[in-house]
């Protein structure tokens, strides 16, 4: 385990380099940037929830430049069609034949802005591509680029005219990250640096192939059987709560996909912290991001003003830490 920790410390330096490079443009939002790095390392997708103007697009674009990948942004609207994402076949009268024009899905990092403003058939097209990593246009199936990562945003206000994502589709997102307002001092720093804020100034830190090469090391980070039982116990607690005050707030708990995601995310946290092993604190630290969108709250929770994060905290408090 000591040797594994030494190897992790020798190979995780790119994480701090990415965060340092992005921080030259983005003020604050360390939690968001760290979660993006974690999801990119494990090949997961992120659902971002935050008010407009919190640098979500800028952060994603800056990250894409730091890891030397292509980046596309799609503004979801009610009149968007699946073909606007995936691409379509266009008739060429000169050749008397159809040719395929690929859509913006064919990129490495895709920012799906306000995903809940598009109708269900468009959301399904995106989520299917996220899961299967390929797209069918006409009779031909095309593989999406590797890596392929979707960061979808939702606006917590202005819900009129939106199409909420079904719970089954929400489960396909590796994490849901809440993007918060900057602090008082951070906002002052934003004003001071405003004229210099641009993702175009971000330098390449690492390539996708170099990040992918670390995947085997991350997967090999030691996690004790007791911690595996702890992860499963936490997820099971969302399905069959042992405390009445928790049970009344949950209609449906998290799926086994949550257990897998929690284990992967905890290993990434350990890697970023320079350890060759997972601790209970790693699981607790990332727990809310992995579980908050996978728990379906009851009407009683809404009536009592309980958020998903409140319930996740109650769930963790209900499970004994090994």
Interval 43-55: pLDDT, tens: 899 999 888 888 8
Output the six-digit token pair for 277: 């092993």
pLDDT band at 9 (very low <50, low <70, confident <90, very high): confident
d(CA 66, CA 256) in angstroms, rounded, equals 33
Residue 302 lies inside a defined structural domain of this protein? yes
The verdict on 265 and 186 lying in the same domain is no
DSSP string, 144-177: PPSS-EEEEEE-SS--TT--PPPHHHHTTSSEEE
Average pLDDT, the chain: 86
d(CA 245, CA 315) in angstroms, rounded, equals 10
pLDDT at 108 over 80: yes
* pLDDT value of position 161: 61
Mean per-residue pLDDT for 61-67? 90
Q: Domains in the chain: how many in total?
A: 2
Q: Work out whether strand 140-143 and strand 134-137 pair parallel, antiparallel, or are unpaired.
A: antiparallel
Residue 43 lies inside a defined structural domain of this protein? yes
Largest CA distance in the chain: 70
Domain boundary among 176, 207, 238: 207
Higher-pLDDT residue of 45, 169: 45
Residue 197 lies inside a defined structural domain of this protein? yes
d(CA 260, CA 268) in angstroms, rounded, equals 13
CA angle 317, 289, 240 (to 5 degrees): 45
Q: Is the pTM of this model over 0.85?
A: yes
The verdict on 140 and 278 lying in the same domain is no
Helix (H, G, I), strand (E, B) or coil at 252: strand
Helix (H, G, I), strand (E, B) or coil at 95: coil
Q: What domain range includes position 287?
A: 221-322
The verdict on 188 and 39 lying in the same domain is yes
In the chain, at which residue ranges do the beta strands (DSSP E only) sit?
A: 46-49, 71-75, 87-92, 97-102, 109-113, 134-137, 140-143, 149-154, 175-178, 250-252, 296-297
The verdict on 51 and 128 lying in the same domain is yes
pLDDT at 159 over 70: no
Question: Residue 316's Cα: distance from chain center in Å?
Answer: 21
Instruction: Give the length of the chain.
Output: 322
Residue 1 lies inside a defined structural domain of this protein? no
Higher-pLDDT residue of 11, 284: 284
Residue 215 lies inside a defined structural domain of this protein? no
d(CA 249, CA 117) in angstroms, rounded, equals 28
CA angle 197, 203, 208 (to 5 degrees): 125
pLDDT at 158 over 70: no
List residues bridging with 176 in a β-sheet: 47
* Nearest alpha carbon to residue 113 among 31, 58, 32: 58
Q: b or e along 146-174 (b: 16 or more beta carbons within 10 Å of the residue's beta carbon)?
A: ebbbbbbbbbeeeeeebbebeeebbbbbb
Interval 209-256: pLDDT, tens: 888 888 888 888 999 999 999 999 999 999 988 888 888 889 888 989
Exposed, middle or buried: residue 41 (CB in 10 Å: 0-12, 13-18, 19+)? Answer: buried
Residue 14 lies inside a defined structural domain of this protein? no
pLDDT at 193 over 90: no
pLDDT at 261 over 90: yes
CATH of the domain at 67: 3.40.50.300
């Amino acid at each position: 385990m000591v040797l594994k920790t030494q190897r992790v410390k020798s190979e995780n330096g790119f994480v701090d380099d990415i965060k340092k490079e992005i921080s030259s443009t983005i003020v604050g939002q360390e939690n968001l940037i760290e979660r993006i790095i974690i999801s990119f390392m494990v090949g997961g997708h992120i659902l971002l929830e935050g008010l407009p103007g919190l640098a979500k697009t800028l952060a994603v674009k800056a990250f894409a430049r730091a890891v030397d990948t292509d980046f596309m942004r799609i503004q979801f609207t009610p009149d968007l069609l699946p073909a606007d994402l995936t691409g379509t076949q266009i008739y060429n009268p000169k050749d008397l034949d159809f040719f395929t024009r690929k859509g913006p899905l064919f990129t490495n990092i895709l920012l799906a802005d306000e995903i809940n403003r598009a109708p269900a058939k468009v959301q399904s097209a995106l989520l299917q591509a996220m899961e299967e990593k390929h797209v069918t246009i006409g009779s031909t199936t095309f593989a999406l680029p590797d890596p392929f990562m979707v960061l979808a945003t939702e606006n917590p206000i202005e819900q009129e005219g939106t199409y909420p994502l079904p719970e089954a589709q929400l489960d396909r997102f590796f994490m849901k990250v809440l993007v918060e307002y900057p602090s008082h001092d951070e906002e002052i720093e934003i004003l001071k640096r405003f004229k210099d804020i641009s993702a175009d100034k971000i330098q390449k830190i690492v390539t996708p192939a170099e990040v992918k090469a670390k995947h085997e090391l991350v997967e090999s980070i030691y996690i004790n059987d007791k911690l595996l039982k702890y992860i499963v116990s936490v997820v099971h607690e969302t399905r069959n709560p042992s405390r009445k005050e928790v049970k009344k707030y949950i209609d449906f708990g998290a799926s086994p996909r949550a257990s897998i995601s929690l284990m992967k995310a905890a290993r990434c946290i350990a890697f970023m912290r320079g350890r060759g092993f997972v601790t209970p604190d790693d699981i607790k630290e990332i727990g809310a991001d992995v579980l908050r969108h996978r728990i379906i709250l009851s009407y009683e929770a809404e009536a009592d003003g309980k958020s998903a994060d409140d319930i996740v905290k109650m769930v963790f408090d209900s499970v004994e830490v090994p």
